Amino acid sequence: MSESDNIDLIRRFCATWAALDVPKILDFFADDAVYHNMPVQAIQGKDAIRGLIEQFVSPFERGDWEITHIVASGDVVLTERIDRFIGEKNTVELPVMGAFEIRDGKIAAWRDYFDLSAWTRQMS
């Protein structure tokens, strides 16, 4: 895939979070993908990723991921984002830096860097 194809893939991935539809989100991943929210342990495989995402989004009704910057170099796409999770009880707004490695049109690795204390503070 070209760099522009890789950027388009990640833009579509980020937009998919609006509905918090976990099966549609998982469609973007390779079966052996690695997902690492840097404040916690990395996980591998769609089943593990599904479990973490379900836990992560369960208090929310929708997500709004604003991409402020996106760039690709080969099969790597970097995003600077503001991830907003909107629920009945609260909204979390989190600045995030994400790194995605693309293989055969799927996300093979995803690393997000953010301040865990900002998440925790907004969830309480």
Positions annotated as catalytic residues are 83, 112
CA separation for the pair 71, 85 (Å, rounded): 24
Contacts of 77 (CB under 8 A, 6+ apart): 6, 7, 9, 10, 70, 71, 99, 100, 102
pLDDT of residue 100: 98
pLDDT for residue 1 is more than 90: no
Tell me the pLDDT of the chain averaged across its residues.
94
Residue type, 75: D
Q: Which domain holds residue 90?
A: 3-123
Q: Number of folded domains in the chain?
A: 1
Structure tokens at 63: 């997500």
Q: pTM to 2 decimals?
A: 0.93
pLDDT digits (tens, 9 = 90+) for 24-78: 999 999 999 999 998 789 999 999 999 999 998 999 999 999 999 999 999 999 9
CATH code for position 24: 3.10.450.50
| Percentage of residues in the chain having pLDDT higher than 90 | 80
